[in-house]
Amino acid sequence: MTIIPLPPSPLPLLQTLVRYQLPVVVIVFNNGGVYGGDRRNPEEITGPHKDDPAPTSFVPEAKYHVLMEAFGGKGYVTRDPAELKSALDESFSAKKPAVINVIIDPYAGAESGRMQHKN
């Protein structure tokens, strides 16, 4: 198993996987952004740009699995360990390109620090 980050523009990667029917399963741990997206406390947000999202936030619960389906691969979305196990079993057995979009809590791991303030 090789772990690589999903590139900022994943379309060429996903299209290539489907075009050549590569048996690759892409697992996206979707926490809403880089370092958990926008985990700022409302009292920390001030100034003229206070309504702008943090630069580390992405679209909440982005549908990465649908991108794979658009190219003809298989997409899964999971929200709990049982769904993830099922998606892993099915996708590895199929030996076809797939994306598993694992929706996780953006605050999970926040106890280790607030990395968005260190960029």
What pTM value is reported for the model?
A: 0.79
Burial of 87 (0-12, 13-18, 19+ CB in 10 A): buried
Number of domains in the chain: 1
Domain assignment present for 5? no
Domain assignment present for 109? yes
Domain assignment present for 43? no
Domain assignment present for 80? yes
Predicted confidence (pLDDT) per residue in 33-44, tens digit: 776 666 666 666
Query: The tokens 């658009």 sit on which residue?
Result: 70
Region 81-110: mean pLDDT is: 91
**CATH code for the domain in which residue 25 is found:** 3.40.50.970
Domain assignment present for 1? no
How many other CB atoms are there within 10 angstroms of residue 18's CB atom?
Answer: 19
Q: Which residues are CB-neighbours of 77 under 8 A, at least 6 positions away?
A: 63, 65, 100, 101, 103
Domain carrying residue 21: 11-38+48-118
